Structure 1
Amino acid sequence: MSIESDEGTDLRQQMAVWRNRFLRLLDRSPAPTAISRPDGSLLIANPSFSALWGLTPGQIRDRNLVDLLVSTDEDSLRKLSEGLRYGRRFRYPIPVEWDTEGLTRTGQLTVEPVSDEFLTPTLLMTFLHVTDRAHDMERELAHALSPQEGRILALVASGATSALIARSVGLTPDGVNYHLSRLCRLLRVPNRTALVAKAYVLGLLPPASWPPDSRESR
């Protein structure tokens, strides 16, 4: 095997390692975040983003931002379109609306073009900040959690299993799973990963505790 082949293999392995690290960080991010092509086709979305439609990241992949979100400001879209055409690397705030579970939600989508230097933007990094009253109601409802549920939520965020949580809070694993199912219904998320992400968004978990320390679950 040639030296060039060995170097190429090492480089691919390093790229795979960094890609996996990036995806793990994206999944843990409390901010609804997605990466799309310039035409809006989604490549990656984290649990916080996909949970706003009651979906998982896998279910929302390949959907288009244009189909999910409706801009309420044509001037913002015009600025983004011009920025992409001329290669301007700014952050573009766009007020948006979307429908989910019979509700019309509102927020601000921040779009940041990403590419190698001097090249036309090849990706769009997008962040969605929810601003509607339904979000405030979720926050108020979430803060009514019992102390027991608060402890369970913190342990889930640390990466603890149901068995470890049960030993820590004095419940059976089935009892822990009951509370987790209730929390998922309350916050309208499909799974534990999305539950933790939304808990950070709503302020149920302190920002200083993010990212979770996996040593706590050992």
Structure 2
Amino acid sequence: MATKSYPDASPSKKRTAATAVPARRDLIAAQDHVTPAATCTAHLSPQDLVVTAAEPEFARQFGLSADEICGRGLLELLRSRTPGHLREQFAALSSGPSRRFKQKVTGRDGDGRSFHADITAIAVRHPSGEMAGVVVLLRRTAEAVTGGPVLSALDAQVLEGVANGESTVQLASRLYLSRQGIEYRVGQMLRRFDAPNRPALVARAHALGMFAAGQWPPRVLPECVR
């Protein structure tokens, strides 16, 4: 006996259902494409990049609970090696045709220790193209955090000046210290870095990844300053 088939929805209903959750479907597809097992997720508001929801594992990376991390700005939690670059990437995601970007970042855990991670930021848009939100996928990496000493803010300024080629007199004038004070701090850093002279001190700091990439005058990375 022939049987009748009853389609579960008319073409018009299917079209309505298909357009109801395009952003959600795009997000699921994006996560399936880029999410390894160790990746954790947070949702951000598109205007100010504040965390609106996060998996507990994402929050634990920063020593916080899922409730505590909500309301925190992502740019307070993570930074790129080039200052301002992460903010520029998010701005381009919001205003341009790009749907995602990947970036290496640094954060701090609950004990104040720095860690490296890769993030993928995905724009979630309404059918009209307007931004509905941003999803961030974070994966900790095994890349070693800088092995250089953690410097005081003043020592970091002295090191930046030395890397910029400033003399003792110039540093003393700019930082309102005596020449003896500058020499003392430089001498302390020479011993800490096991460097025989100022050029070697700068070279060691560069080799340890303590300077922000592509910055002039040189800037010591925030995670290297206590």
TM-score bin (small chain): 0.3 to 0.5
Pick the structure with more helix per residue. Answer: 1
Q: Which has the larger radius of gyration?
A: 2
